[in-house]
Chains A and B, each alone.
Chain A
Amino acid sequence: MSKPVEQRRRLVGALGAIAASGCLPSTASAATKRQALARSLSQMAAEYDVVVIGSGYGGAVMAARLAPGRRLAVLERGREWPPADFPSSMIDVLGQFRGALTPFGLFDYRLGQTMDVLVGSGLGGTSLINANVVAEADRDAFNAWPTKIRQDVANGVFAGYEARVKQMLAADQVIETDALRKHWFHRSTTLARTRQGVATRSVPMPIAVNLRKYNNVPNAQGVKQPPCSRCGDCVTGCRTGAKNTLDVNYLPLARAGGAEIFTRIEVDWLEHLPDGRWRVHTITRPDGITSVHGEVIAGSVVLAAGTLGSTQVLLRSRAQGLAVSPTLGTRFSGNGDLIALGYNTSVQTNVMGFGTSAPLSGEAQVGPTITIGADYRAQQPLAQRYLIEDAAVPRALVDAVRLALPLSAGIFTDFPAAQRVARDLLYSRTDGALNHSMVYLGIGHDSASGRIQLDAWGNAQVVWPNVMQEPFVARLKAEMERHALVFGGRYVDYPRTSPIFGGALTSVHPLGGCPMGEQGDGGVVNADGQVFDARVGGVAVYSNLRVVDGSIAPASIGVNPLLTIAALAERAAEHFA
């Protein structure tokens, strides 16, 4: 990609992300020292039994389960992130948007015409920058999935995989005595909506955060973890080291099982060798910028580079001659994500993250980014179900957001509301409009009719012309507005969603692109993640090439998808032969 174009893309991406208020990153200081998991690239062998590409919820689980007894390598494009290295200021965050000049950046923000996508990049994948919600999908969300998966769901086998993941991720949940204002606020507005006759209920969200289990002692995988500091900065990387990211559970388990983990190595494309093995074409950047091409031979490949990453590798491989299903790139779903704010209510919500800085006066704790949801899934057809979760603004974005929102929110004539806005424009304090707001992450169901294709530089991009007309958008907006109104707040679009900034949605849960199907004309992979062999057609697969990540979901999941993805990986690992 040319430098000016790349710089422009990064700038626009960064601005969009800043505007996004509650969903992105920031954070701060030194925390727990951890033993490095990754090896030097010079130690990489020429051949492995299994090469796992990517270290997110698919790759980390597969590596942990497959490593014992096999020579297995994990290839991660990003870097390893000790907690103290996560960005803490807005400048730091801006410098961590991944691009040609910053290939090891933490945030992979892909701009689209109508849909942007944000995922994490680094050892542990998106677990580094998500809110770590470990939620089960509705059972009928699997109706569009292959028969074998549906059977496992119906007979409880899939629930066993989910239970295994929950145990590994040590999911916990915020309780009443944690006294988190944003948690209380969201519960209060949800109860108000219930009283208004709406079929909803308030549900604490299980989260993979060490809220209280380990107090600076080693966790089950031997990684020392302090408890959550309630700083509200989950999504810019937890500088406390309290998030149960994959580098404190599945990846240490993989390493203990013999996996060789390498970072800063990106996979370009895959070549099927005559002997049935795979040549994995790689790119490394010894100086951080210049690309050096390399290769490694794999008896078996597990492609787990994420929805965009895995689809991108297969699209590039197809361009090099690999015969894959024509459905490659289809069924993209943003998982019905909608980010917005209930702005300037009368209640102080404490949504302003403080990272490792001292909290502002009047705000002792914010809490994990997501703690509770308003659940609209009961007694509704699948397509009309949704969740609205609470969120927080990470420290790095607080000042930008508090100054930007008054411009998009319009004028308040009510004196206290106007006074709060004025405070935000004049000071960084807890009695301003931003800290009387609620950041919402809505998750619904979309039609999964987006498409992933390669742009002129060979990078995956999302194309979905009519996504703003998807019914979930209006449904979520209307309900978020009503939540905001309970305490006199005003619905405000996530800035990138506003027509002023392009009117695009942003998904933090991209799915699809390599959808599962019963056979090659209906999907890219089968229920076990094996890639259909288009040379043969039907149910024939490349038995030693699997895709195991969010890209294989054939439809929106309707909740934060990490549990479903990791459970799919547990299943795929068990079926690995």
Chain B
Amino acid sequence: MKRLLALVLLTLLALTSTAASAARGLKFAEEMRGYAYWDGEYRNASVSLKVTIQDIDKWSVDPNYPATVTGTLFMDRVPAQPISGTLQILAPAPNDDGRLLTYRFTSATLQFNGIKHVRDSAGVEVFDDMTTLHGMFQPKGQTPPSILELLYQALWTSELHFEWWDPTTVWNFTMSFQTINTPWYEVLEVEAIFVVTVFGALAHTLFPWLC
């Protein structure tokens, strides 16, 4: 009996230490729809993304921490293609009082660079700022537009929206959240870190059931 108790304790200890050594993370899915300028014309386009924040604690204190992005790009008259890349969530916008969500991803043939610009003064339009992605699709390997060009020179040619006015989209989004390497008793904390970091004071309005 003593031996059995010791074995259980050792097992628990090992499990706890494993959980403590691996960073806590979070992943979620995001779908956006809109239009893209590609190969000489505007096309209806959408992306289905899986965003993984491998270390939510690092991410919450480092605005330049890149989350990883994988998913699928759909564009009219272009075969659906897998994409992968990064997402910086809410890094400060250069020369601006707002923040940026910067998406960069590539497929086998193309690349995308884009931003969501969340203005500090957006007021109720923060919903649109948080959900409107402006960027540029290019053949892979071309020089991408800089953040400044996207932000101030309106060089973006494509616009994708997370359709926050569509209940299904919002439901799918909120139900997609999953923690990584997180003990059950820290799940809510990790989700809260995400929501509070991303939405700040608006979190209570947007997703009260998560806070």
Q: Which residues of A contact B (CB under 8 A)?
A: 176, 179, 181, 184-185, 187-188, 191, 346-348, 361-364, 415-416, 419, 430, 487
Q: How far is the CB of A454 from chain B (nearest CB, A)?
A: 49
Q: How far is the CB of A5 from chain B (nearest CB, A)?
A: 47
Q: Are B161 and A184 in contact, CB atoms less than 8 angstroms apart?
A: no
Q: Are A187 and B41 in contact, CB atoms less than 8 angstroms apart?
A: yes
The complex places the Cα of A416 from the Cα of B41 at a distance, in Å, of: 22
Asked whether A188 and B165 contact (CB < 8 A) given A346-B35, A487-B35, the answer is: no
Asked whether A364 and B153 contact (CB < 8 A) given A184-B37, A346-B34, A416-B161, the answer is: yes
Other A-B pairs beyond A184-B157, A415-B165, A487-B42, 14, CB < 8 Å: A176-B40, A179-B155, A184-B40, A184-B41, A184-B42, A187-B41, A188-B42, A188-B43, A191-B41, A348-B159, A362-B154, A416-B161, A430-B154, A487-B35
Q: How far is the CB of A188 from chain B (nearest CB, A)?
A: 4
The complex places the Cα of A334 from the Cα of B44 at a distance, in Å, of: 37
The complex places the Cα of A179 from the Cα of B40 at a distance, in Å, of: 10
B19-51: contact bitstring with A at CB < 8 Å (1 yes, 0 no)? 000000000000000110100111100000000
Q: Closest residue to B164 on the A side, CB-wise? A: A415
The complex places the Cα of A362 from the Cα of B153 at a distance, in Å, of: 7
Q: Are B155 and A364 in contact, CB atoms less than 8 angstroms apart?
A: yes
Q: Are A188 and B41 in contact, CB atoms less than 8 angstroms apart?
A: yes
Neighbouring A residues of B154 by C-beta, 8 Å:
361-364, 430
Neighbouring B residues of A419 by C-beta, 8 Å:
128
Q: How far is the CB of B10 from chain A (nearest CB, A)?
A: 58
Residue of A187, A347, A361 near B40 (CB, 8 A) is A187
The complex places the Cα of A307 from the Cα of B128 at a distance, in Å, of: 51
Q: Closest residue to A187 on the B side, CB-wise? A: B41
Central interface residue in A361, A362, A363, A430, by most chain B CB within 10 Å = A362
For the complex of A and B, 7 pairs with smallest distance between CB atoms: A188-B41, A188-B42, A415-B165, A364-B154, A362-B154, A347-B42, A347-B35
Q: Are B42 and A185 in contact, CB atoms less than 8 angstroms apart?
A: yes
The complex places the Cα of A110 from the Cα of B128 at a distance, in Å, of: 45
Central interface residue in B34, B42, B154, by most chain A CB within 10 Å = B42
The complex places the Cα of A348 from the Cα of B37 at a distance, in Å, of: 11
Neighbouring B residues of A416 by C-beta, 8 Å:
161, 165
Central interface residue in B35, B43, B128, B154, by most chain A CB within 10 Å = B154
The complex places the Cα of A184 from the Cα of B157 at a distance, in Å, of: 10
Central interface residue in B41, B128, B153, by most chain A CB within 10 Å = B41
Q: Closest residue to A181 on the B side, CB-wise? A: B157
B130-172: contact bitstring with A at CB < 8 Å (1 yes, 0 no)? 0000000000000000000000011101010100010000000
Q: Closest residue to A191 on the B side, CB-wise? A: B41
Neighbouring B residues of A362 by C-beta, 8 Å:
154
Neighbouring A residues of B35 by C-beta, 8 Å:
346-347, 487
Q: Using a CB-CB cutoff of 8 Å, which residues 103-143 of chain B contact chain A?
A: 128
Neighbouring A residues of B37 by C-beta, 8 Å:
184
Show 23 residue pairs from A and B whose CB-CB distance is below 8 angstroms, ordered by the A residue: A176-B40, A179-B157, A181-B157, A184-B40, A184-B41, A184-B157, A187-B40, A187-B41, A188-B41, A188-B42, A191-B41, A346-B34, A346-B35, A347-B42, A347-B159, A348-B159, A361-B154, A363-B154, A364-B153, A364-B155, A416-B165, A419-B128, A487-B42
Neighbouring B residues of A176 by C-beta, 8 Å:
40
Q: How far is the CB of A171 from chain B (nearest CB, A)?
A: 23
Q: How far is the CB of B103 from chain A (nearest CB, A)?
A: 18
Neighbouring A residues of B41 by C-beta, 8 Å:
184, 187-188, 191
Q: How far is the CB of A390 from chain B (nearest CB, A)?
A: 13
The complex places the Cα of A415 from the Cα of B33 at a distance, in Å, of: 14
Neighbouring A residues of B40 by C-beta, 8 Å:
176, 184, 187
Neighbouring B residues of A347 by C-beta, 8 Å:
35, 42, 159
Neighbouring A residues of B161 by C-beta, 8 Å:
416
The complex places the Cα of A194 from the Cα of B194 at a distance, in Å, of: 47
Q: Closest residue to A415 on the B side, CB-wise? A: B165
Neighbouring A residues of B155 by C-beta, 8 Å:
179, 364
Neighbouring A residues of B165 by C-beta, 8 Å:
415-416
Neighbouring B residues of A361 by C-beta, 8 Å:
154
The complex places the Cα of A187 from the Cα of B40 at a distance, in Å, of: 8
Q: Closest residue to B152 on the A side, CB-wise? A: A361
The complex places the Cα of A347 from the Cα of B154 at a distance, in Å, of: 14
The complex places the Cα of A312 from the Cα of B205 at a distance, in Å, of: 69
Q: How far is the CB of A429 from chain B (nearest CB, A)?
A: 10
Q: How far is the CB of B191 from chain A (nearest CB, A)?
A: 28
Neighbouring B residues of A185 by C-beta, 8 Å:
42
Q: How far is the CB of A218 from chain B (nearest CB, A)?
A: 31
Q: Closest residue to B37 on the A side, CB-wise? A: A184
Q: How far is the CB of B37 from chain A (nearest CB, A)?
A: 6
Neighbouring B residues of A415 by C-beta, 8 Å:
165
Q: Closest residue to A414 on the B side, CB-wise? A: B165
The complex places the Cα of A534 from the Cα of B44 at a distance, in Å, of: 63
Q: Closest residue to B35 on the A side, CB-wise? A: A347
The complex places the Cα of A430 from the Cα of B153 at a distance, in Å, of: 13
Neighbouring A residues of B42 by C-beta, 8 Å:
184-185, 188, 347, 487
Q: How far is the CB of B174 from chain A (nearest CB, A)?
A: 19
Neighbouring A residues of B128 by C-beta, 8 Å:
419
Q: How far is the CB of B154 from chain A (nearest CB, A)?
A: 4
Q: How far is the CB of A487 from chain B (nearest CB, A)?
A: 7
The complex places the Cα of A362 from the Cα of B128 at a distance, in Å, of: 15
The complex places the Cα of A181 from the Cα of B42 at a distance, in Å, of: 9
Q: How far is the CB of B120 from chain A (nearest CB, A)?
A: 15
Q: Closest residue to B34 on the A side, CB-wise? A: A346
Q: How far is the CB of B123 from chain A (nearest CB, A)?
A: 12
Neighbouring B residues of A487 by C-beta, 8 Å:
35, 42
